[in-house]
Structure formats: structure tokens, C-alpha cells
Amino acid sequence: MKRLLILLLIVVFAVMLAGCKKPRENHPPVLQKIGGSEGVIDCSANVLEWSASDPDGTIAKYYVNVDEAGWDDYGLETEYVWNDYGTGVHSFEVKAEDNEGTFSNIISWNFVAIEEMILVEGGKFTMGDNWGDGYENELPLHEVTIDYDYFIGKYEVTFDEFDAFCDDMDITKPKDFSWGRQRRPVISVSWYEVTEYCNWLSDKAGLARAYDEFGNLLDQAGGITDDPSEVIGFRLPTEAEWEFAARGGDSESLFKYSGSNDPDEVAWYRENAHNDIVDSISTWPVGEKEPNGLGIHDMSGNV
């Protein structure tokens, strides 16, 4: 009888121990990036990809947060094709939830979208007024060699792009004189404000800044340089770079204007830029006129 009682006590104690066992700890899923562009990108599709693993469970669903609009159920898809964003600052976040309701780490992509950039291959050209009806400071004609390739904007920098910089830096936006903003070229900005915009783009792209606080060009190591080919970050084109690109990169350009002999085809100017809303001439949205041979717009007139 005594032995039976001891056995019963042992069994009861064992059951009690089993009942006091700590519940299994659920480890959260682990989420990581697979693909997608960050920094400064042009306005084309951005394909964002990710994957997740769960050491002690399964992935139940993903949630996405587009431009801080809130979390949306995205099912089990692991790719998001984003092709409807405009210029400006954008963000994208993803998190995973497992079958027990535990959430993963959050991963994010951050980028600034700008208009397309056009590659200009180096070459030689005759710089200046080779039509004989320009200004005195466009003479004498002289040969210029650009012995490096560079990128230049397909369009003039727009209000949308510059306003995104102002919002991000919490600074006052430039005036538009009631002409309109959005995709019209930005106006009412100083040279120094533009260099700050360029440096902002460089920061977002993870590139060395192009300008110091006094507007001097900087090389990749941060030293002052007079050689634009040594500058890594975003900057304004030199006069020679601008004229070469305006000519379509063609040293034997046959056109008087950038892409045509007819200014109405490629440029906004006093005779065709009247705006009925403000009853005066004004700027117009970029890209509405024909491009030049390199695909660059408005090189003969808008701002």
C-alpha cells in the first residue's frame, strides 16, 4: 500500500511538472532584400523584391507600406513592380507575419526619382556663333575637345523635382509667378540654391558632393578641382558641355537650333509662348517640343 502511494505521488508529480512546462517560444520571421533600386533613380519602373524565412513556422502573409500611406495586405507575393510614381522622394516598406501572428523585421527602400538622364559621349566641336547672327561674346569660333563622357538631364529640372528637395530640406519653395508648377521648369532660383540641390541629389545617391559651400567644384576625395571630369556627384554642366549637348553631340550639326532649323518645332520663345491664363508669355511643361538628336528637350528655349 505504501509503495502504491509513493508511485501515485511520483506520477502526480510528473504530471504537475509536465503541466508547468514553459510554452515554446515563437521566433519571428527574418526578412531580407533581394532586389530594387535606391538612391537617385529615373522615372521608370522600380522592381522591389524580398524573401523571408521562419525557423519555427511558416510565412502567412506580407504587408507593404507605399509612401507612408499605411500597411496593406499583400498576400504571399514577394515582388512589387512600382511604375506609377512621379518625381520626388519615395519610400517602400515590407514586413512579414508568420502562422502564429508574429511579425518580422521591417525592410525599406528609399529613393529620389528624377527625370531621365541622357549619355553624351565626348568629342570635338567648333564652339561659338557659326551662323553669324549671335552675340559678340559668342566669338571667336574655337575648337573644343571634351575627352570624357557625361550625363545630362533629358529635360530641364522641373518644379516637381525642386519642390521635393525643398520639402525634404524644409526650406521655402521658389515662386512661380502664377505660371504653374509641376512639370514646368523651375524658376526663381539662385546659382547657389541650384548647387545645394545638386549636393542633395548626390547625398541621396551616395555620391561625393560636387560643390563646397563657396561653389567650388570638388573631386571624389573632396579636394577643389577645375577639372569637371573629376567630379563624381551631380553638378551643373559647363558652358562647353551644354553647347555640345545642345548640338546633339554632333560637331557638324546642320541645325541652327537644337534639333531643327525651325524654332517653333523645338523651342518656346516670345512669339509662341503666350499664356492666356496670365495674359503674358510664360514657361511651359517640359518635353512638349521635339527633342534634338540626343533626345534632349528645350535646349533652345523654355526658361
Q: Can you give the residue ranges of every domain in the chain?
A: 30-114
Q: Count CA atoms closer than 13 A to 163's CA, side-chain side.
A: 14
pLDDT of residue 267: 97
Which residue stretches of the chain are H helix? 2-19, 159-169, 191-205, 239-246, 263-266
Which residues, listed in sequence order, are joined to residue 101 by a DSSP beta bridge? none
pLDDT of residue 58: 94
The pLDDT of residue 208 is: 97
Distance CA 33, CA 102 (A): 19
Give residue 16's identity as a one-letter amino acid code: M
* Cis-peptide, bond into residue 140, ω within 30° of zero: yes
Of the candidates 275, 256, 276, 278, which has an alpha carbon nearest to the alpha carbon of residue 267?
256
Cα 101 to Cα 127: distance, rounded to the nearest angstrom = 68
Give the length of the chain: 303
CA 93 to chain centre: 17
Domain formed by 30-114, architecture = Sandwich (2.60)
Calculate the alpha carbon distances from 303 to 47, 158, 241 in Å. Answer: 34, 11, 18
Helix residue spans in 134-279 (DSSP H): 159-169, 191-205, 239-246, 263-266
The pLDDT value recorded for residue 8 is 47
Cell numbers at 171, concatenated: 526650406
- The pTM for the full model equals 0.84
Amino acid at 13: F
Q: State which H helix or E strand residue 202 sits in.
A: helix 191-205
Which regions in the chain score pLDDT beneath 50? 4-5, 7-9, 11-15
Helices marked H in 20-120 — which ranges? Answer: none
